[in-house]
Amino acid sequence: MKESIDDRITKRIREVMQQYEPDYSPQAWEKLRKQMPVPVFWLKRVLLKYKYWFAGVGIVGVLLVAYKVTSLTASDNNSANDPITSESVNQIVSEKSKEVIYSKKVAALSISKDSNRREEENISLKGTTVLVTDPLQVAYQDYIQPENAIAEMPESIERNVIIPVFTEEISLGYQCDIAQLIPMRSQTEEISGTKSLSSERTSKSKFQWPELNSIFIKEESYDKFVGPNKLAVFYSPEFLRSNSLKSLGASHGIGISFEGPIRTSISLSAGVSYQSINFHKTISPIKVPESPDDTTYIESGNYKYLEVPVSINFKFFESSGSQVWLGTGISSIIFLKQDYSSETIIGGISDQSAFSAKGWENVLPLASLNLGLYYRFQLSGRLSLNSEVLYKYHLVRLGYNSMKLDRFNLQIGLVYRFGRED
Amino acid sequence: MRIKGEQENSKDFNKVLKGCSRGNLKAQEDLFKLYYGYVMSIALRFSSCHDNALEIANDSFLKIFMKIKSHQIDKEFKAWVRKIVVNTAIDYYRKDKKNNMEISIEIAYDEPADESVIDNLNAEEIIKLINSLPMNYRYTFSLFEIEGFSHNEIALQLGITESTSRSNLTRAKKMLRHMILINSHYERVN
């Protein structure tokens, strides 16, 4: 059988190409040398390789530290407001002497020589620095009698007393085995006309935001594990804008999220949602030079993925039955399925190619930064209607066609509150 | 410069490979000199122009320098390099697929080309012909006819169906025949 023309051409191409090798080009080496990576320190390499994981861990770390700091502030406030109890005095008595430095705080010094408490004199003064060292041996009256002391020293130290200290910064070389600095209470303000310790502390860390005081106020018998935790189930339609496709699209999903309070007005929430994105873009018709036919190019696909958002939320408005929250956080994305197809139609002849990636191929730990506004309407004691508007700015490109997305996500669902009532 | 089989087994060549695995720039340059022609000849079959081929070749060399530690010296180095270059070219196809607006020209007539023209085709002319093919046809043709991939393998690698691969190949051959015919007519007229 005679060899066909196509076979002859193919054979010739194969023969020639197997023998052909272009000559070495020094310019090509120069070009490559410039592209070659400079040896990188191993730590930098590790940091670059796992940058998204480190960023994720960093954000979680910052959230934890913020939580810890706010917890400590609140517990300090609580202890600051506690009156002196017999237990605390007894505890003080049993403690070994130690150096206490209390700086720039309004405080009073409590001294007890024996644990049999009688009548308490409670004179609160403000002071700035107190240094207490060894057991009380000396007539401390010598030490604690600055000229500017507001009140007289108590004459006796045979009982528990709150002694006046000072109004200006003073270093008190004081020997005392039973000493405690006690922040002044409201009485102090009346005496000195200055702010109390608690108000001073609050003002230091206070961020001017509506109802922000409640952020730092820990409710009595507050326990985050039995607090007003919430479980939300939602449906989330969304609009998305693809920078790469220059098109708008719509998608939808469902999900659940768990929300735990940190403070009255702050909560942390984490959830998981299943989203499905459809896209379809027709570029038509394109006039191609030297071709009699127009070309139509169609790009379409469907991506299904799990999204795991974590956010911190601030309640900044509350009225009877309604709450408005502002939330910010990050989302991770785990692809389940990617179906992508492109079709080129030239002169009525279609040339189609399709691609389907396996599930779990793409895991993006830090996929998007989210900013949301939530509105909650209380339906009953434990049930609320929740609606959210979220803007999701994608940090990485998604999917087989590397889409850069901006997403406007709407969520509507029900919130069930369990644990302690608000 | 052509690479001889013996060259690969020589002590010098092993020295070059070891130098490359240590990141020695001189050794890398030597390897580049040895394999530039070979790598470019493969890259040219998958690209639309010389610059594009150079890009594929450079990326392939970067991969070679990075992965050379994992290459076992007792295995054939040339085959390993070939695999890397073909895979890099396929990566380019996947990356450029969304921007691939190349067109296919449907041949209106099917006239056999002059047989002597076929036998006289030289490397430059063949490269020009292959470069003129639309990207999807070029890849299918090169993978099937020169690299020896099956349609099933091509479909998997390029994310197309087997039938598309077959049709791409047929159209590529048609286009090549058509272009050779046009060239021969043009030469005769001139």
Q: How far apart are CA B182 and CA B16, in angstroms?
A: 47
pLDDT for B140 equals 92
Instruction: Read off the DSSP letter of residue A7.
Output: H
Q: A173-177, A377-381, B93-97: which has the minimum mean pLDDT?
A: A173-177
Q: A106-110, A279-283, B83-87: which has the minimum mean pLDDT?
A: A106-110
pLDDT for A102 equals 40
With 90 as the cut, is the pLDDT of residue B39 above it?
yes
Q: What is the C-alpha end-to-end distance of chain B, expressed in Å?
A: 35
Q: Does A387 touch chain B (CB under 8 A)?
A: no
Between positions 252 and 291 of A, the ones with CB within 8 A of B are 286, 288, 291
Q: Which long-range contacts (CB under 8 A, 24 or more apart) does A206-209 make?
A: A209/A314, A209/A316
With 60 as the cut, is the pLDDT of residue A304 above it?
yes
Return the exposure string of A89-116: e unless at least 16 CB atoms fall within 10 Å of the residue's CB, then b. Answer: beebeeeeeeebebeebbbbbbbbbeee
Q: Chain A residue with minimal CA distance to B111?
A: A5
Q: Chain B residue with minimal CA distance to A7?
A: B173
Higher pLDDT, B92 or A138: B92
Q: Which tokens sit at B74?
A: 């007792």
Nearest-Cα distance to chain A for B51, in Å, is 10
Average pLDDT of the residues in A60-64:
81
| pLDDT tens by residue, A359-387 | 666 788 888 899 999 898 888 877 888 88
pLDDT for B37 equals 92
Q: How far apart are CA A130 and CA A133, in angstroms?
A: 10
Closest by Cα among A329, A393, A398 to A363: A398
Q: Chain A residue with minimal CA distance to B159?
A: A355
With 70 as the cut, is the pLDDT of residue A411 above it?
yes
HSE toward the beta carbon, residue B60, CA cutoff 13 A: 32
Q: How far apart are CA B63 and CA B74, in angstroms?
A: 19
Nearest to B173 among A10, A25, A33 (CB): A10
Q: How far apart are CA A270 and CA A258, in angstroms?
A: 6
Average pLDDT of the residues in B93-101:
66
Closest by Cα among A102, A312, A314 to A216: A314
Q: Does A38 touch chain B (CB under 8 A)?
A: no
Instruction: Read off the DSSP letter of residue A4.
Output: P
Nearest to B159 among A37, A344, A353 (CB): A353
Nearest to B126 among A13, A23, A24 (CB): A13
Residues of B in contact with A361 (CB under 8 A): none
Q: Does A57 touch chain B (CB under 8 A)?
A: no
Q: A104-108, A147-151, A365-369, B61-65: which has the minimum mean pLDDT?
A: A104-108
Q: Which pTM value belongs to this model?
A: 0.40
Q: A256-265, A283-292, A302-311, B71-80: which has the minimum mean pLDDT?
A: A283-292
Instruction: Tell me if A382 sits within 8 A of A376, measured CB to CB.
Output: no
Q: How far apart are CA A367 and CA A130, in angstroms?
A: 52
Q: Pick the residue of B25, B117, B126 with the most A CBs within 10 A to test the interface with A by mutation.
A: B126
Higher pLDDT, B95 or A352: B95
Average pLDDT of the residues in A45-55:
78
Q: How far apart are CA A165 and CA A188, in angstroms?
A: 12
Q: Which tokens sit at A7?
A: 């076979």
Higher pLDDT, A406 or A327: A327
| pLDDT tens by residue, A212-243 | 455 555 545 444 444 457 787 878 777 777 66
Determine whether the interchain pair B123/A9 forms a contact, defined as Cβ–Cβ distance below 8 Å: no
Residues of A in contact with B130 (CB under 8 A): 13
Higher pLDDT, A322 or A163: A322
Residues of A in contact with B118 (CB under 8 A): 5, 8-9, 12
In terms of Cβ atoms closer than 10 Å to its own Cβ (0-12, 13-18, 19+), residue B71 is middle
Phi, psi of B66 (to 5 degrees): -75, -35
Q: How far is CA A295 from the centre of its chain?
A: 49
Collect all residues with Cβ–Cβ distance below 8 Å to B68 and sequence separation of at least 6.
B17, B20, B21
| pLDDT tens by residue, A126-149 | 343 344 443 343 334 334 444 444
Determine whether the interchain pair B112/A5 forms a contact, defined as Cβ–Cβ distance below 8 Å: yes
Nearest to A351 among B104, B123, B126 (CB): B104
Instruction: Tell me if A301 sits within 8 A of A244, measured CB to CB.
Output: no
Determine whether the interchain pair A352/B164 forms a contact, defined as Cβ–Cβ distance below 8 Å: yes
Q: Does A21 touch chain B (CB under 8 A)?
A: yes
Q: Does A27 touch chain B (CB under 8 A)?
A: no
Instruction: Tell me if A342 sits within 8 A of A299, measured CB to CB.
Output: yes
Determine whether the interchain pair B32/A6 forms a contact, defined as Cβ–Cβ distance below 8 Å: no
Higher pLDDT, B97 or A263: A263
Nearest-Cα distance to chain A for B111, in Å, is 10
Phi, psi of A322 (to 5 degrees): -130, 145
Q: How far apart are CA A417 and CA A69, in angstroms?
A: 26
Q: How far apart are CA B66 and CA B46, in angstroms?
A: 23
CA B133 vs CA A165, A344, A353: distances in Å: 94, 15, 17
| pLDDT tens by residue, A389-405 | 889 888 887 776 677 77
With 70 as the cut, is the pLDDT of residue A88 above it?
no
Q: How far apart are CA A311 and CA A291, in angstroms?
A: 54
Q: How far is CA B98 from the centre of its chain?
A: 21
pLDDT band at A301 (very low <50, low <70, confident <90, very high): confident
Determine whether the interchain pair B97/A19 forms a contact, defined as Cβ–Cβ distance below 8 Å: no
Residues of A in contact with B38 (CB under 8 A): 21
Average pLDDT of the residues in A272-296:
67
Nearest-Cα distance to chain B for A343, in Å, is 10
Residues of B in contact with A39 (CB under 8 A): 23
Read off the amino acid at residue B30: D
Highest mean pLDDT among A62-66, A182-186, A257-261: A257-261
Q: How far apart are CA A80 and CA A72, in angstroms?
A: 12
How many Cβ atoms from other residues are within 10 Å of residue A80's Cβ? 17
ipTM above 0.85, yes or no: no
Determine whether the interchain pair B98/A13 forms a contact, defined as Cβ–Cβ distance below 8 Å: no
pLDDT band at A275 (very low <50, low <70, confident <90, very high): confident
Q: How far apart are CA A165 and CA B121, in angstroms?
A: 105
Highest mean pLDDT among A130-139, A410-419, B69-78: A410-419
Bridge partners (DSSP) listed for residue A408: A239, A391
With 70 as the cut, is the pLDDT of residue A203 above it?
no
Q: Which tokens sit at A387?
A: 């609606």
Closest by Cα among B50, B113, B89, B123 to A13: B123
Collect all residues with Cβ–Cβ distance below 8 Å to A251 and sequence separation of at least 6.
A237, A238, A240, A275, A276, A277, A278
Read off the amino acid at residue B18: K
Please give the mean pLDDT across all residues of chain A: 65
Give the 3-state secondary structure of residue A65. helix
Instruction: Tell me if A322 sits within 8 A of A415, measured CB to CB.
Output: no
Q: How far apart are CA A364 and CA A336, in angstroms?
A: 12
